[in-house]
Amino acid sequence: MPEGPEIRRAADRVHRQLAGRRLEDAWFAFPELAGQAASLIGREVSAVDSWGKALLTRFDDGRVLYSHNQLYGVWKLHDAEREPDTGRSLRVRLVAEGRAASLYSASDVSLWEAGRLDEHPFLSRLGPDLLTHGVTVEQAAARLLEPRFRRRGLGGLLLDQSLFAGIGNYLRSEILFFAGLHHRIRPQSLEEEGLTHLAESLLAVTRQAYEEAGVTNRPDWAAADRARGASRRRWRFAVFERDGLPCHACGTTIVRTAVASRRLYFCPACQPGPV
């Protein structure tokens, strides 16, 4: 499933397509939304952003179109007069000044008043988004030490969307590696320096994944892998999906394990377990 950085990049693309323009047409496949489509005609798209794995299309009258791509959903951008070449099922189409954004294969779509988004059954359970909500290193560190989070092992905790929204499987492995932390370590066991380093890694790795289209590896390590003929799947990550290969930092063999029923990759030397 796409993680927060991928959804934010999708939101950016839809934003560039529609933001600042007034809708000429709106269409929904869902009966509960179809009756509201006409009320969106003439409304300006004020912004498109993301919260975790949800995409939020905001209109100038205070309404927000919530959509979640789930496993198979995808937004396609196109000229209004030219249908995308796809066999997917159309769910949503928004047209503004000749430009169209069409959502295919998603089933979780709803229209909300912005002031009631905290009542949304999915969004109400989410923590802040590291890319959208301006989280600082200090705020991230403080959140990790909240009573409901501080005693939990980091391997399971980082996948909990109530901590920070948008962190998925590859980000978890990469964040822990660059923080130099084992997945069984708990926030409460960290000294101030270690906690700050973890908070910095949370923000930096997530930001890099967003800015570099899913690449979280160090540039010099990625370049060395590319020079050896490695595929993008190998060189884009520092540890994720690199089990059996040497750690870029120390040469120790990367290990794959399972935490919270999801695969996790780590370097036993760079990320020693708790004593």
Residue pair 168/159 in contact (Cβ under 8 Å)? The answer is yes
Catalytic residue at 31? Answer: no
Catalytic residue at 82? Answer: no
Q: Using CA of residue 31, residue 36, residue 41, residue 46, what is the dihedral sign?
A: negative
Catalytic residue at 2? Answer: yes
From the candidates 152, 262, 263, 268, give the one annotated as an active-site residue. Answer: 262
User: Cα separation of 36 and 27, whole Å?
Assistant: 9
Catalytic residue at 76? Answer: no
**What DSSP designation does 272 have?**
P
User: Cα separation of 3 and 168, whole Å?
Assistant: 6
Q: Identity (one letter) of the amino acid at 30?
A: F
Residue with tokens 């869902």: 30
In 11-53 the beta strands, taken as DSSP E runs, fall at: 23-28, 45-51
From the candidates 3, 8, 58, 174, give the one annotated as an active-site residue. Answer: 3
User: Cα separation of 29 and 43, whole Å?
Assistant: 20
Residue with tokens 């690199």: 242
From the candidates 5, 8, 53, 143, give the one annotated as an active-site residue. Answer: 53
User: For the chain, what is the radius of gyration of the CA atoms?
Assistant: 21
From the candidates 2, 5, 128, 187, give the one annotated as an active-site residue. Answer: 2
Q: Could you list the active site residues?
A: 2-3, 53, 262
